[in-house]
Amino acid sequence: MKENREFNMLENADDKTLDLLSEVPVLTKEEKERMLAMSKKKLDRMNRESNIKTNNDEYQVSGVERYKKPKWQALASIAACLLLVGSIGGTMFALKQNKPIVENDNSLSNVTTDVTTTIPPSTWDIETTCDKEAASLLGQYRFIQELAGGNPDGMELDENDTKSVENYDGSLVTYYRVADIFSSVGELKRHLESMMTGQLLNDYTALLTCYLGEAERFKDIDGKLYYKPGSDYSTEYNDYTDYKIENYDAGTNSFDIVIINEHPMAKETEVFHVVLENSLWKLESYRIESETSDMDASTFERTDALQLLSSLELVDNLMAGGIYTSVNQDDSIEYQSPDGSYTVKYNNFVSGGLVDLNNLTEMVKNTVTEPALSETYSYIYEDEKNDLPMFKEVDGKLYMRDNGRGKSFNFQGNPEIIKKSDKSYEIITDNEVTKGKVKVTAVYEDGKWKVSNYEFLDDENSNVTDSESVTASLNDDVYEGLYYDKNDSNNSLSIDRRNDKLYSVHITHKKTDTVSEEWAFTGEFNGRGVLNYEKCCKNTITIGEDGSVMSVTDYLDGTGYLRISEPGDETGIIWIDDKDNAGAGDFFIKQ
Amino acid sequence: MTGIEYCALYKKSKDRAYDTLFESYCDYVYAIVYNKLRSIASREDIEECVSDIFSDIFFSYDTTSNFAGDMKGYVGTVAKRRAINTFRKLTANSGHFSEDAEDELINIGADTDIEQDSDLAETRSILISKINELGEPDSTIIIQKYYYDRSSSEIADMLSMKASAVRMRAARALNKLKTTLAAAGITM
């Protein structure tokens, strides 16, 4: 094997020789990174296995108290699940469904759980106890999160023991037998109950063991536990290695685990609330907060796209009657249309994540921009003509129209992202419902990425189908955009659409390298392509030698107008400024 | 890196603690593992073993300890034990050793012939000293090429040299080493 066998004498060397050998640089940066990454991955698995073993051991310990969970809780949080899954970014494809929820025998109605009654720790030390519990819970959570997303890493599957189960559409789903860790759905649920409670427990129990329009992840078949791996699960999770313990409350025995994810131009904070229940520390709730600045507009990442698609899928789903959602048909209210010609039934909406109309409206408005909103989705919460929107709030409870339940979107695959400008991107992705592609336009508005438009494409050449186009291209605005002055390259004009009719206009004249004049005003274009304005603000901007910027307001009461002009073959905008005729000679052409 | 330093870093940021510990001792651990497995394991097996060692250390080191000494002793012990286990596993798989040959396995690291052991230690010491006498970068090239079995292009990348220059220096240095070892009574 070795060319020079004399070097074999260095094998089984003493410590001194080993020291000398270790001083010879031999490992490349890539090799080191690879080994470190492997070590951390193995550590994660060791932590998970250790935690699961510990929890299972605890279950076998002592006095037992049995309880039953009410059945409705299993379904009470599907929308919340989706919000949760969507918010984590990258796990949006964990659930794919095409038909209404069917309750199955694996619902929580029959769950009984053994709960330990060991004595809680009498003394506390935040530095050690909380830290230790947090590390353990986060490790378990990540494992469960990945399982829910379809990633079986860390759990051994027997590839020689598979079962084919018919899915809702007649297709066959392959399940693999779980060879370690859990032996039944009941055991899995007991594990979940040992580390989660409240909403989070409901969410993950549903995600892992309930039929959500598609075959469940875990299933008992012939007395054995089987798992359905996902084909497109994400591995792009935030790192949970670094966290802080905050808000420790000795009175309620609770604390928060705070994980701050610093991205180049954004900050994301994930918060888990942990409570002591039956002497076990459990994750009770999860929330994520993002702090973004205007600068973030230029960084639209894959996770932003996945999150936005997930949110759009949810909003559209609500609009389409709500496949994901659950209603209580025993609690219904009927309304008549204004002309009395028909009656509309509303059922109590029991999907836990959306609790009232404000909550719902906020979620929709955070996903879709105003033009697309009023065109398509505002009907979810308002119907000015008939007052029969998709949702109504009555006596503090949310009711949903009893509609046909359908959906337009079931996004699949890896989306293609195309940058259109700093504040606008196009996402092209596969849509299982139409068996084609959808182009979603994302724009940056109010500090968030939102959907301004979507189009169904008939093929990969991205042509829009006339028959299937649901929304017109709302942003295809003839005025909006950047313009340059054909006669003077130092001048520029930008027009941004503020709402249906109103535009904001910004004109710059660069006088020297350090001095420029700027005019800003708003107005509406009339039918003849003229925008009259008043209250124009003019500023003179001076850049100092030290890089400082000084802005002096010259006036706030400018008047004038912009007008579309078509001399010869060219179309452009001319600017008439009443105040000091600054627009004389300007002819702005759209870029 | 001392135990206290590691624990302090661990409290601030586990990830940083892992990274720093790894950076401090990866060459040392690799040297131990390579030394034990070089004749029977692939480079992938060796990397796997090194990563196992660090995950063991990350998992089991008591982060509340106040050990003020260098962690090198602890790291080295874990590394040697794990390397021996891997050696055992690999040789068992390849049929070179039987799982039952415990006595034989326990003594893998040490020859029972004291006289021969002493001779080997002396020869090894001479070899190391003669390699060191070659001076840099030849001593590093020799170790990397003939002990760590790295290719000339890999060594060239690491030392910011051309592969042809590495080949030339390696050949010359090896000849020089042979000559000096022969003078010391060792034939290559």
- Among A440-454, A469-483, A535-549, B151-165, the minimum mean pLDDT is found in A469-483
Q: Does B160 touch chain A (CB under 8 A)?
A: no
Which alpha helices (H) appear in A260-355, and where do they start and end?
302-319
Residue A462 above 50 pLDDT?
A: no
For B83-121, the pLDDT digits (tens) are 888 888 777 655 544 444 444 444 445 445 566 667 777
pLDDT of A76 reads 28
Residue B131 above 50 pLDDT?
A: yes
Residue A154 above 60 pLDDT?
A: yes
Which positions in chain A touch B64 (Cβ < 8 Å)?
128
Instruction: Say yes or no for a CB contact (<8 Å) between A4 and B146.
Output: yes
Average pLDDT over residues B46-57: 91
Average pLDDT over residues A336-351: 77
Q: Does A498 touch chain B (CB under 8 A)?
A: no
- Which of A8, A15, A241 comes nearest B15 by C-beta? A241
Q: Which amino acid type is present at position A581?
A: N
Q: Hey, how many other C-beta atoms are within 10 angstroms of the C-beta on B54?
A: 26
Average pLDDT over residues B48-55: 92
The residue of chain B nearest to residue A50, with distances taken between CA atoms, is B59
Interface of B with A in 4-23 (CB under 8 A): 11, 13-15, 18-19, 22-23
For A82-141, the pLDDT digits (tens) are 334 333 333 232 222 222 222 333 333 333 333 333 334 444 455 677 877 888 888 888
Report the C-alpha dihedral over residues B79, B82, B83, B89, rounded to 10 degrees.
Answer: -170
CA distance A280 to A115: 9
Token pair belonging to B164: 């042809």
Residues A225 and A183: beta-carbon distance below 8 Å? yes
Token pair belonging to A100: 């209404």
- Which of B58, B127, B188 comes nearest A43 by C-beta? B58
Q: Does B174 touch chain A (CB under 8 A)?
A: yes
The domain segmentation of chain B, as residue ranges, is 3-106, 114-183
pLDDT of A98 reads 28
Instruction: Say yes or no for a CB contact (<8 Å) between A10 and B55.
Output: no
pLDDT of A305 reads 82
The residue of chain B nearest to residue A26, with distances taken between CA atoms, is B144
CA distance B115 to B113: 6
Q: Does B171 touch chain A (CB under 8 A)?
A: no
- Angle (CA) A249 A255 A261, round 5°: 145
Q: Does B48 touch chain A (CB under 8 A)?
A: yes
- Count residue pairs from A and B with Cβ separation < 8 A: 137
List strands edge to edge, sheet with A448-457: A411-421, A424-431, A436-445, A448-457
Distance separating the N- and C-terminal Cα atoms of chain B: 39
- How far off is chain A from B147, nearest CA to CA, in Å? 6
pLDDT of A274 reads 92
Strands A343-349, A397-401: pairing kind: antiparallel
Q: Which of A214-223, A315-324, A402-411 holds the top average pLDDT?
A: A214-223
- Which of A9, A26, A50 comes nearest B30 by C-beta? A26
Report the C-alpha dihedral over residues A34, A35, A41, A46, rounded to 10 degrees.
Answer: 170
Q: Does A125 touch chain B (CB under 8 A)?
A: no
Instruction: Say yes or no for a CB contact (<8 Å) between A31 and B47.
Output: yes
Model confidence band, residue A198 (pLDDT cutoffs 50, 70, 90): confident
The residue of chain A nearest to residue B143, with distances taken between CA atoms, is A24
CA distance A80 to A65: 29
CA distance A301 to A442: 12
Model confidence band, residue A479 (pLDDT cutoffs 50, 70, 90): confident
Which positions in chain B touch A32 (Cβ < 8 Å)?
22-23, 26
Interface of A with B in 427-446 (CB under 8 A): none
The residue of chain B nearest to residue A28, with distances taken between CA atoms, is B158
Biggest distance spanned by C-alpha atoms of chain A: 101
CATH for B114-183 (1.10.3470, 1.10.10, 1.10.12, 3.40.50): 1.10.10
Model confidence band, residue B132 (pLDDT cutoffs 50, 70, 90): confident
Model confidence band, residue A18 (pLDDT cutoffs 50, 70, 90): confident
Residue B157 above 80 pLDDT?
A: yes
Q: Which amino acid type is present at position A49?
A: E
Interface of A with B in 229-268 (CB under 8 A): 239, 241-242
Which residue, A212, A200, A218, A169, is CA-closest to A324? A212
CA distances to A138, A503, B11 from A133, in Å: 8, 54, 14
List strands edge to edge, sheet with A224-227: A157-166, A172-178, A224-227, A218-221
Residue B172 above 60 pLDDT?
A: yes
For A513-567, the pLDDT digits (tens) are 888 898 988 888 876 778 888 888 888 888 777 666 777 888 888 888 898 877 6
Residue B127 above 70 pLDDT?
A: yes
| Mutation site, B28, B35, B39, B127, interface A, largest A CB count within 10 A | B35
Which positions in chain A touch B28 (Cβ < 8 Å)?
18-19, 22
The set of residues, in sequence order, having a beta carbon less than 8 Å from that of A396 and lying 6+ positions away, is A356
Fold of the B3-106 domain: Rna Polymerase Sigma Factor; Chain: A (1.10.1740)
- How far off is chain A from B97, nearest CA to CA, in Å? 17
Model confidence band, residue A354 (pLDDT cutoffs 50, 70, 90): low
CA distance A174 to A215: 10
